[in-house]
Amino acid sequence: MVCFLVIYCRQKEQNMTFKEIINQDKPVLVDFFAEWCGPCKMMAPVLEQLKERIGDAATIIKIDVDKSPQAANAYQVQGVPTLIVFKNGKPVWRQSGVRPLAELESVLRSNAAH
């Protein structure tokens, strides 16, 4: 089982599994992070602002790599933060490190349009 925190989403997504969430038709941004990671903490306000801008066009979830190492291993996450955008269950974009709000918004909007 993957231990994850669904943030910035609709109520029905709170009860979905990780696989169900990433298999949605809309983009899903997964933030692989760790509590001890300084750059990961810098991403939190960026993700909050991002969700305010994109609304229900995308879902954002966080996965703590220390609590769910199997998820990190499944997607070859070597460092944190690693951000992966999924659409229909497939990774369509991936970057490691702190990313700017404008870049993340652009990626999610371009994947929501398809």
Identify whether 9 is a catalytic site residue: no
Identify whether 40 is a catalytic site residue: yes
CA 100 to chain CA centroid, Å, is 14
Catalytic residue among 22, 28, 29, 40: 40
32: which strand partners?
63, 82
Catalytic residue among 2, 7, 16, 37: 37
Within the chain, residue ranges assigned H as helices are 18-22, 38-54, 69-74, 101-112
The catalytic residue positions are 37, 40
